Structure 1
Amino acid sequence: MSEPTNSTTDPFASGTSDAHGSLYKAIGLSLAIGSSLFIGSSFVFKKKGLLQSMGRTVIVGELCNFVAYSFAPAILVTPLGALSVVISAVLSSFFLRERLNFQGKVGCVQCILGAVVIVLHAPEEGTTDTTIENFKHLMLSVGFLVYAGIAVIVSLVLVFYCGPRWGKTNMLVYIGVCSWIGSLSVVFTQVVTLVLEIVYLNKALNIFNTAVVTPTYYVLFTTLTIVSATVLYRGFDASGVDITTCVFGFLVICSGVALLHYSRSGNDLDDGASSIDSRRKSLLHTFMSEKVSYEDRHSMDQIRSFHDDEENHMNPFRTPDTLTVNEKVEHSTSLETIDIQPIDPPPSAKGHRAQDAMDPLSAFRMGLHRDNDEDNKGLVARLRKVKPYFFQHQVYAKERWLKRPLLDVFATEFQFRDKMYYYNAIQCGHITVNGSQVEPTYVVQHNDLITHHIHRHEPAVTAKPIEIIDHQDDFVVIDKPGGIPAHPGGRYRYNSVTQLLQCQLNVSRLFPANRLDLPTSGLMFIGLNVDGARRLWADTVEGRVQKEYLCRVVGKFPDRVVCTAPIKRISFRLSLHYVQDDGGKPSETEFERISYDGTTSLVRCRPVTGRTHQIRVHLRYLGYPIANDPLYGLDKPWSHLLQEGQPLDEKYAANVVQTIAAHSHYPDFDPSHINACRDCGLVMTPDPPPNLLSIWLHAWRYASKDQSWAYETPTIPTWAYH
């Protein structure tokens, strides 16, 4: 006879279970909020330079977050991570004096309201049996195995297929890895999630802006975590109203996080390139990247440091700033001959007008000054200078650098410094790989992050004003003076057209739609937003714009000439291009002589294609180079290697590169007047005469072929008159 079954429930046992459930939920809630408090505070410690305090708070915050999942459901703990963003924003406004604008305040309120809604309506997991056997049964269920299989397959595809191809251009690749695997690992252990953040989330944060990465990662990770918990526990124990309310609370938090980060993106962005300080870093990478301290800057008196960015070509939607991974201006120092206090922010800070609109005192305080000089026509010429500043340049290894010793890469790619300099810089830790000091013989690997800590000396540029010809809603048209680069690149950053225009127009970012070389003057179209630049760029590359240049060349130019010689880049480092049949790109330029003065000709140029140095190369190939061209002129030590009407073969191309490199040093100057930089030991060479910064090539007229618009420069250079 079987024993009777008691179908009634012990009310005291039920009450005890409910009390324990409420207590556990309260503990999990407290730990989740505490985790957000510690992690949010760590960002403030990081910006204050208190790295040890930052490390401790991050560790405590992650531990609290890890334990919180043991007491409360994932649907409650995970969304509350948004509070760390709110706490960071609020503390930064108090301790770092970072302004929190109206959008940021609304975002904070939305995050808090959404968190309250989730706390009040968060459902429990669908099962209350937490025994090992039941957990094993849940993990081996068909639904969860299918989800786990999908997550693993998608992650493997992202890591091994998508990562090498699109990891540096699409942030969803690395964020997706963290989110898919994180949605599984967060159910079991937070350690795996933390490791994933160190490896993949940090990659996304190093490449893309924090204001976009953080909210995207939060939304994707939280969504997949909730889906994973739903599949594992087979639903949630709650009414439809509670679940719907909780979902809407989560959406409110998502919009609040996005709004908060968007409001702070103006501080995070530095004309297209985010600074190191404005990027969120995982714990490991932060410790690695801080090995070069402020004190270390003064430990290499024998080292003179600045180097050209290897990337020197532009795309209007990916400005040369964004080609580098991270850039950091750490400290400004005065020239030895001028007593100027350190500047913060650098001269390109928003809110300042263009230098030519400033009174001398304001310009002096900004760290810029001008030198007056007389050019060869008796006109007053001036130079614009930027005070030297400490700078941390980071870039991922180029494909051609792979499997080569680090010292060899620097010695061959950046030959303006001798091999001993780079050897000392690597030995002293001023050149590092992946945040760690390495030996000069270290072999560069794929995805290596190479850092060069330098004291940057920007060359002087012309101080002639940048005239705005037309100002539309989406773009501006300017008359660029010769002797200043169009955009940051190489040794130039703040001394560039886009940086100076950002100050003048009081905007945070500009998008050049056409490019003029540093010594070339004339029309430039600069988008005020991506759409404006894209339209102008598309019209240009698709041949809907007719361009006309003026130049003065050596000799009596023929009446009319059409040159179709193909052009190929001969040296990336020297920015040397020339005619070459093998591998040259199709190029076409129409030339027409306007006048001849007995020694030189004024020529109108109509480039049909848009290759780099196209006009200059075609003129040199025809035997009539621009009269004062320092690269393709007739009076250079390498001029005999560039024969009229003869393309360069590989052998002669190598000879030209070697000859130019051998003669690319500074001209001789009186050694008794040599000064060295007090901070880095760099020999302070004389500034070039202002008239040598530009060449006799001017972008005079741009017009649409359908005659819907046309622009000309208001004036033409004086060399075009005689």
Structure 2
Amino acid sequence: MDGASAGDGGSASGGGRWYTGMSSDNIKGLVLAISSSLFIGASFIIKKKGLKKAASSSGGVRAGVGGYSYLYEPLWWVGMITMVVGEVANFVAYAFAPAILVTPLGALSIIISAVLAHVMLREKLHIFGILGCVLCVVGSTTIVLHAPQERQIESVTEVWDLATEPAFMCYVAVVLAIVALLVFKFVPLYGQTHVMVYIGVCSLVGSISVMSVKALGIALKLTFSGTNQLIYPQTWAFTMVVISCIITQMNYLNKALDTFNTAVVSPIYYTMFTSLTILASVIMFKDWDRQNPTQIVTEMCGFVTIFSGTFLLHKTKDMADGLSNSSSFRLPTISLARSFKQTDEYSEGVPLRSSDSFRSLH
């Protein structure tokens, strides 16, 4: 590293230092994560145009009032395929880069959606929305430049050993205990009135699912490179954990979105999910063991910056939609006609990545 810096001279102080400071795997993961955000962010706009086109066709019933005419609209399917491509890229990104790098970059899809909606759908982007975009970019750049190097793993059994170490097993036990308490005690009592109940279940389970997704991604990466990992039972154990966690997340995230204002759910979910995912990754993969305190604090500042930008984007979208009830946790009881109108707005609006895509689950 020193020799390269000396040889490069002045160039080492510019882009060369950034490049040499990241491993090739981190760069691959970064490119995949950004590509995922581009595809998923664009998919929201394509699907919305498909929904509008389907609703405007003769006899078309809008999705917000229970119609399914969009299933016959090719443009909507293009959007779905685009989203699937983005989710695949996101899945593969976890195989190359640490979760502390990949997960926060999900906020970039919000920027893509907001900008494309402004350009293609003529949806007004508030000045504070632009500031939110800038904050997301600044926060993402901060995390990228200070992210830890990916741990070199030669077999899925190594990941299993990391997952079964006492520290991570304690984390899993605590998560399962809290989830059980929330599901059996607090959901029946407070699920319909306190947003943190549903979001807590989603975020806690999500942190486990991301670790399993990363383990499965590593297994597939090694398999495709010539070292078959499908023969190990650990690979299939991680697969079962992924499936179980995703089903649980989808169930309770849908409950949260159906009960509370999206403008409230999405920022809280993004913050809790990303925070717990980073915590789980730090415990299991020991990401921070390879970093100094300055890098760690800088990463946390980057995350807070992204959250601030995400919050601004969502609040300004809420302002643009004219939803006066954005400060309330519960959607108020309104007339049937207005209910249909608001439901349609939510179904076709540009949603946050965390509420409508697989990365929101990971």
Q: CA deviation at 1:327?
A: 2.5
Change (3 A) 1:137 1:194: closer
8 Å CA contact 2:33–2:102 kept in 1: the answer is: yes
Q: Is the 8 A contact 1:187 1:229 kept in 2?
A: yes
CA contact (8 A) 2:93 2:102 kept: yes
1:187-211 superposed Cα distances (whole Å, 9 cap, x missing partner): 1127545434432212212222222
| TM-aligned CA deviation for residue 320 of structure 1 | 2.2
2:229 equivalent in structure 1: none
Instruction: Map 1:651-662 onto structure 2 (within 5 A).
Output: none
Helix, strand or coil for the counterpart of 1:243? Answer: helix
Question: Counterparts of 1:73 and 1:135 in 2: how far apart (Å)?
Answer: 13
Match in the other structure for 1:39: 40
Unaligned runs of 5+ in 1: 1-17, 275-314, 331-390, 393-722
Give deviations 1:267-294, integer Å, cap 9, x for gaps. 44545499xxxxxxxxxxxxxxxxxxxx
Aligned counterpart, 2:93? 68
In the alignment, what sits opposite 1:246?
Answer: 299
Determine whether 1:214 maps to 2:239: no
Query: Given that residues 175 and 217 in structure 1 are in contact (C-alpha distance below 8 angstroms), is that contact kept between their aligned partners in structure 2?
Result: yes
The 1:42/1:161 distance shift into structure 2, 3 A limit, reads farther
User: What is the aligned partner in structure 1 of residue 315 from structure 2?
Assistant: 262
- Paired position in structure 2 for 1:170: 194
Structure 2: stretches of 5+ with no match in the other structure: 1-18, 52-74, 215-241, 345-362
CA distance in 2: counterparts of 1:271 and 1:165, whole angstroms: 28
Question: Match for 1:152 among 176, 185, 200?
Answer: 176
Query: Which shows bigger deviation, 93-102 or 132-141?
Result: 132-141
The offset of 1:72, in angstroms, is 0.4
Aligned to 1:93: 118
Contact 1:209/1:269 (<8 A) preserved: no
CA separation of 1:266/1:34 partners in 2, compared to 1, >3 Å: closer, same or farther? Answer: same
Amino acid at match of 1:177: V
Q: Are the aligned partners of 1:158 and 1:173 in contact in 2 as well (CA < 8 Å)?
A: yes
What is the rounded CA distance, in whole Å, between the counterparts of 2:300 and 2:85 in structure 1?
29
CA distance in 2, matches of 1:198, 1:152: 17
CA distance in 1, matches of 2:319, 2:261: 11
- 1:23 alignment partner in structure 2: 24
Tell me the distance in 2 between the aligned counterparts of 1:176 and 1:74.
19
* Correspondence 1:108 to 2:121: no
Q: Give the structure with the higher percent helix.
A: 2
3-state secondary structure, aligned to 1:38: helix
Using the alignment, how far apart are the partners of 2:82 and 2:162 within structure 1? 35
SS at match of 1:89: helix
Q: Confirm or deny: 8 A CA contact 1:73 1:124 kept in the other structure.
A: yes
Alignment of 1:509-524 (within 5 A): none
Aligned mates of 1:122, 1:141 — CA distance in 2: 23
Which deviations, in whole Å up to 9, do the C-alpha atoms of 1:450-496 show, x marking residues without a partner? xxxxxxxxxxxxxxxxxxxxxxxxxxxxxxxxxxxxxxxxxxxxxxx
Equivalent residues in 2 for 1:453-472 (5 A)? none
Q: Measured at CA, do residues 23 and 112 of structure 1 come closer, stay the same or move farther in structure 2, by a change above 3 Å?
A: same
Larger radius of gyration, structure 1 or 2? 1
User: Of the two structures, which has the highest relative contact order with CA contacts closer than 8 Å and spacing of 6 or more?
Assistant: 2
Report how far residue 318 of structure 1 moved. Answer: 6.7
Structure-1 residue corresponding to 2:234 = none
> For the residues of structure 2 that align with 1:174 and 1:327, how far apart are their CA atoms?
23
What letter is aligned with 1:180? L
When structure 1 is superposed on structure 2, of 166-175 and 71-80 the one drifting more is 166-175
Task: Tell me the TM-score normalized by structure 2.
Answer: 0.68
**AA in 2 matched with 1:240:** P
| Structure 1 residue 177: Cα displacement | 1.3
Match of 2:341 among 321, 329, 339: 329
What residue is the counterpart of 1:122 in the other structure? Answer: 147
Output one character per residue of 1:139-165: Cα deviation in whole Å (capped at 9) or x when no partner: 121110110011111112222322222
Is the alpha carbon distance of 1:273 and 1:214 closer, same or farther for their aligned partners in structure 2, counting shifts above 3 Å?
closer
Gap change, CA 1:206 and 1:267, over 3 Å in 2: farther
2:136 equivalent to 1:136: no
Deviation readout 1:53-84 (Å, 9 max, x if unpaired)? 22212211211111110000000000000001
Contact residue 205 and residue 249 of structure 2 kept, 8 A = no
Distance 1:166 1:101 in 2: 35
CA distance in 1, matches of 2:254, 2:286: 33
Spell out, residue by residue over 1:99-155, the C-alpha distance to the aligned partner (whole angstroms, 9 max, x if none): 111110100000001111111111135x53443343222112111011001111111
- CA deviations over 1:566-585 (Å, ceiling 9, x no partner): xxxxxxxxxxxxxxxxxxxx
**Structure 2: distance between partners of 1:224 and 1:159:** 18
- Given the superposition, is the C-alpha separation of residues 146 and 257 from structure 1 closer, same or farther in structure 2, using an over 3 Å criterion? same
Is the Cα contact below 8 Å between 1:210 and 1:268 reproduced in 2? no
Letter aligned with residue 45 of structure 1: I
Q: Secondary structure at the match of 2:23?
A: helix
Whole-angstrom CA distance in 2 between matches of 1:256 and 1:318: 24
Report the equivalent of 2:208.
184
Are the aligned partners of 1:123 and 1:243 in contact in 2 as well (CA < 8 Å)? no
Per the alignment, in what secondary structure is the counterpart of residue 232 of structure 1? helix
| Distance change (3 Å), C-alpha of 1:235 and 1:29 | closer
Change in 2 beyond 3 A, CA 1:95/1:248: same
Q: Is contact 1:147–1:228 with CA below 8 Å preserved after alignment?
A: yes
- Name the residue aligned to 2:254: 202
Give per-residue Cα distances to partners, 1:29-71, cap 9 Å, x unaligned: 1111111112111221232214212221221121111111000
Spell out, residue by residue over 1:427-463, the C-alpha distance to the aligned partner (whole angstroms, 9 max, x if none): xxxxxxxxxxxxxxxxxxxxxxxxxxxxxxxxxxxxx
What TM-score comes out, normalization by structure 1 length? 0.35
- In structure 2, the partner of 1:560 is none
Amino acid across the alignment from 1:42? S
In structure 2, give the amino acid aligned to 1:157: L
Aligned residue type for 1:32: A
Determine the structure 1 residue equivalent to 2:185: 161
Determine helix, strand or coil for the equivalent of 2:339.
Answer: strand
CA distance in 2, matches of 1:318, 1:114: 31
Aligned residues of 1:209 and 1:268 also touching (Cα < 8 A): no
Deviation readout 1:321-378 (Å, 9 max, x if unpaired): 2x98x93239xxxxxxxxxxxxxxxxxxxxxxxxxxxxxxxxxxxxxxxxxxxxxxxx
* AA partner of residue 320 (structure 1): T
Q: How many residues align?
A: 270
